[in-house]
Amino acid sequence: MAPSTPNIQTFETEDQVAIALAVYILHLSAKFIAANGSFSVVLSGGSLIDTLRKLTEPPYVDSIDWSKWSIFFLDERVVPLDHPDSNYKLAYDGFLSKVPIPESNIYPIKERLSPEEAADEYEQRLKDLVANKKLRTSEITGFAKFDLMLVGMGPEGHVASLFCWHFQRFEKIKWVTFITDSPKPPSNRITFTFPLINSASEIAMVVTGEDAADAVKVALGPHASYGFPLPVQKVSPEGGLTWFLDKAAISEL
């Protein structure tokens, strides 16, 4: 499969990124609901949730059929769902509690499991949803095919919990894997693998702030193909790849 040619969109401010992202998601929601009767969305943590804030405001919040949305998590810290480090809690407080997505359509990790058990359980749940026709399947990879993945990037170029120095970034078989030595606490996490990530119909890479500028330069600059690739450079979906960047994030380009 040929690598995706990214659509790179740049904006002066983070607020303009948030508006553009809301318009983009509004369009995709209508498109996939019209085609399939549903819209599967994968969230990552960090600043991405704040960048989704425009979707909780008029006119966007009133223009989306939220009942058709299903929410999944790109990676998660293996902590209780009400823990301050939980991506689910971050997403709930900043986004999910402000829009009427049915609770039964939101898929957090199971609590009180080990990292390995949590990863295996989440993968099995995804496979069950595929078997029950709640999720589509990639004809290319056989992995679940999500409609939209909303992906952030760490300052050193990691995505999900796939870090430069972890072998999990090379996983080819598992849909969901785990780590127990994250460089940033908490150390226990589960994460989608690149084959699952890249089976998506659409991926939005949402990157803002000056602390991301060096990694953006490596990923998108003229020497992007040199040397050992950053994890973010392995993001290459079957469908579309759109980067949403503010001026600070592209300041080194």
Tell me, what's the pLDDT at 4? 60
How many Å apart are CA 25 and CA 180, to the nearest integer? 33
**Angle ∠(79,70,106) on CA atoms, nearest 5:** 30
**Residue-wise pLDDT tens for the chain (253 aa)?**
455 689 999 999 999 999 999 999 999 999 999 999 999 999 999 999 999 999 999 999 999 999 999 999 999 999 999 999 999 999 999 999 999 999 999 999 999 999 999 999 999 999 999 999 999 999 999 999 999 999 999 999 999 999 998 999 999 999 999 999 999 999 999 999 999 999 999 999 999 999 999 999 999 988 766 767 899 999 999 999 999 999 999 999 9
Enter the pTM of the model. 0.96
How many Å apart are CA 195 and CA 28, to the nearest integer? 22
Tell me, what's the pLDDT at 3? 57
Q: Is 175 exposed, middle or buried (0-12, 13-18, 19+ CB in 10 A)?
A: buried
How many Å apart are CA 115 and CA 78, to the nearest integer? 6
User: Please, are residues 216 and 253 in contact by the beta-carbon 8 Å criterion?
Assistant: yes
Domains plus CATH for the chain? Answer: 23-227 (3.40.50.1360)
